Amino acid sequence: MEHAGFPSDETLAAFIDGTLDASSRARVMEHMTACDECYAAFAGISELRASDDAGDFPRMDSHRGWTSWARAARYGAFAAAVAAAVLVVLLLPVFHRRSPVLSLAAATASSPRTIEARLSSFPYSPLAPTMRGSGEKVPQNWKLLAAAAEIQEETARRPTPENLQALGIAHLLTGKFDEAIPLLERVAASPEGSVDERSSRLNDLAAAYIARGRWTGNAADFAAASRVSAQAWSLAHKPEIAFNRALIAESLAADATAKRKWEQYLAMDGRSGWAGEARGRVGR
């Protein structure tokens, strides 16, 4: 994804430092779902977190020099790797204040995704093949399990909407649909937060209904997903919501409606990995 003025280097620094306002923070998170360079930097920090805990990396108290390195991170895979290494050095002092949802996204960054639906703030990854006869809802991902355990402990200490949302997503990604949905319903019902935050919560709840519906074959879950997704769409016309609306229509065997909604999605996003999946579904 090309950078056209947003986010600026200063905005990225403020995002990672935890000082960005809620609206801008949500925009940066959405940007990271489609920007390999920015997301590689974040994922690189996650990969090297264990080294930080062991004291292997120096710590710095300022972001001096951030601008030149961040600009370098705009170009190519090599620059993305450089950005990851540099950000480890510059930003480890604030790493532990990162978004819990982004912690989950980082933990799943190198693995195929385990649910068809699109979660807010998660980058694209291909869908995992069906585990025929395995008896498992999702393949085991130890990084994800570790991140989920940390989020569960933090939520027990501080049951904020952000932590509850992250815990619900953690349950969803580990196949605990019946534990995920009540948490996501609770957070989605709250009137707190910006329009962007509320639409994202509704979208993630719809994704959970879709996942459970696929697993159980219960049409009521798809009906609930359709209702919640419509609420999210009424708040914000975002690509992840459009993707899930089309997926719901396809799940309900409404072929003509599904084709129209996939085409609507492609009008919003014609270049990402998500768009490639959408084109394949239109063809089918």
What pLDDT digit, counting tens, does each position of 115-124 carry? Answer: 999 999 888 9
Is pLDDT above 60 for 268?
yes
CB 215 within 8 A of CB 234: no
> What pLDDT does residue 7 have?
72
Report the distance separating Cα 146 and Cα 143, nearest Å: 5
Domains of the chain: 9-98 (no CATH), 101-283 (1.25.40.10)
Which of 11-25, 70-84, 100-114, 258-272 has the least mean pLDDT? 70-84
For range 19-23, the mean pLDDT: 67
pLDDT(103) > 60: yes
Q: Is 133 helix (H, G, I), strand (E, B) or coil?
A: coil
Q: How far apart are CA 31 and CA 123, in angstroms?
A: 9
Q: Is the pLDDT of residue 135 over 50?
A: no
The total of other beta-carbon atoms located within 10 Å of residue 96's CB is: 11
DSSP category for residue 113? B
pTM score above 0.85: no
